[in-house]
Structure 1
Amino acid sequence: MKKQCDQCGYSFEREPGYFFGAMYISYALAVSEMFSVFILSIFVFGMSYLYTLSIICIMAILASTFNFRKSRVIWMYLLRKPSS
């Protein structure tokens, strides 16, 4: 991630352990994505469980980078100080 925001100068670097809570958000994002893929593949497309598991594994690997960055942004937004 960048060290500072190009537009507002907000510092993305925090003290050690600051993004520990972002792991929970990343986990929630991954579980919701996996559950959505499971429901779609089983009930909508009628795929077998083996194909569904394969698709879920591939999707989880491909979405990990997106989830990593998005969870950090959500965590920073949740803990930001309101501007006066």
Structure 2
Amino acid sequence: MLKKGSKLYSILTGTCPKCQNESMYLDKNPLHLSKVLKMHENCSHCGLKYQIEPSFFYGAMYVSYGLNVAIGIAVFIISYVLLNYDIKVSFISIVASLIVLFPFVLRWSRNIYINMFISYDPTSKK
């Protein structure tokens, strides 16, 4: 399903968007909260510099906002419309899901943002 070379592969695995051979993050597990945003400076395989310019990943905040809104809407539809929960329970469900998914959304937003600017190149080497 997820094939190397697709943007979706790089986004979901957190691999280098150019070569997709190594993780961009020092710790692959996003649940280690103290290390959730710690990244390598460069890809050891292709040499891509992840921090393309100073404060590059500030733009990922906009992606994060969009992801959080999408998650909130999806949880609301599932809890209120499909499961017929009370409105209070639905909003508590939204807050709970956003708290639980927080470290994943942080990583996904960075992964999506860098993949907007860099494409896969199977011939890339150091």
Compute the TM-score of the two structures, normalised by the length of structure 1: 0.83
The amino acid that maps onto 2:65 is Y
Structure 1 stretches of 4+ with a deviation exceeding 6 A read none
Q: Which runs of 5+ in 2 are unaligned?
A: 1-37
CA apart distance, 1:2: 2.7
Higher percent of residues as helix:
1
Q: Which runs of 5+ in 1 are unaligned?
A: none
**Corresponding residue of 1:35:** 73
Superimposed CA distance per residue, residues 22-62 of structure 1 (whole angstroms, 9 cap, x where no aligned partner): 10101100100000000111111000011111111111111
**Corresponding residue of 1:49:** 87
Does structure 1 conserve the Cα–Cα contact (< 8 Å) formed by 2:51 and 2:57? no
Q: Could you tell me how far apart the structure 2 residues matched to 1:5 and 1:61 are? A: 30
Q: CA RMSD in A?
A: 2.1
Q: Percent identity?
A: 30
The amino acid that maps onto 2:39 is K
Q: Could you tell me how far apart the structure 2 residues matched to 1:13 and 1:47 are? A: 44
